[in-house]
Amino acid sequence: MGEDPLQTEADLGLVRKGIEALDFVVVQDIFMTKTAEIADVLLPATSWGEHGGVFTCADRGFQRFEKAIPARAT
């Protein structure tokens, strides 16, 4: 999703009810967010500076980027 739904959505109560109604929740994040705290499984992620790749935007242009630092092993 690219965000922390239990911290940023307009109707936090409704979002919490919806997530808590799920049988299984997996979160991948670089921070221990409110949503990550209630996950059944938390997968580590790398930040933008820890990996290289290519991204594109609505303008259909492509931009390549290199990692700035090595990913931290956990």
Please give the DSSP secondary-structure letter assigned to residue 37: H
Neighbour count for residue 27 (Cβ, 10 Å): 21
Assign 56 a pLDDT band (cuts: 50, 70, 90).
confident
**Statement: residue 32 has pLDDT above 60:** yes
Q: Is the pTM of this model over 0.75?
A: no
Q: How far apart are CA 44 and CA 61, in angstroms?
A: 29
Beta strands per DSSP E along the chain: 26-29, 41-44, 53-56, 62-65
